[in-house]
Amino acid sequence: MSKENPSIDWKSLESEEALQQAISESSEHPVVIFKHSTSCSISSMAKSRLESGWNSEEVNDARPYYLDLLSNRNISNLVAQTLGVVHESPQILILKDGKCVYNTSHMGISFEGVKRQFS
């Protein structure tokens, strides 16, 4: 499954260093982390809904990160532990100033839902 989408410039979240970078980056720009299970149809639908509506200008130039849960389960666990959120799949998290300020999962994932966090 491709992570390519002209409207989303995904950064891969594949290491502890990348997670620390995302947390640090959230002090200057909001960070959106999408946790995706590549073998799950619900996760694929959620990713498609998110990508189809994505507009960086409407989310204050948020930095989107993509976490492949099957390849990086240890990083997913670290995300949950570090940010104090319960792991779900698929899941979207919004970070601001180093903290998770919003998270939702499954059918709750959409660009419109993300955008509401910026209004």
Quote the CA–CA distance of 118 and 109 in Å, as a whole number: 15
For residue 101, which amino acid is it? V
Q: Among 6, 35, 11, which residue's Cα sits nearest to residue 22?
A: 11
pTM of the full structure:
0.91
Angle 116-70-66 from CA coordinates, rounded to 5°: 35
CATH code, 11-113: 3.40.30.10
DSSP 82: H
In the chain, what are the domain boundaries? 11-113
Each residue's pLDDT tens digit, 65-108: 999 999 999 999 999 999 999 999 999 999 999 999 999 999 99
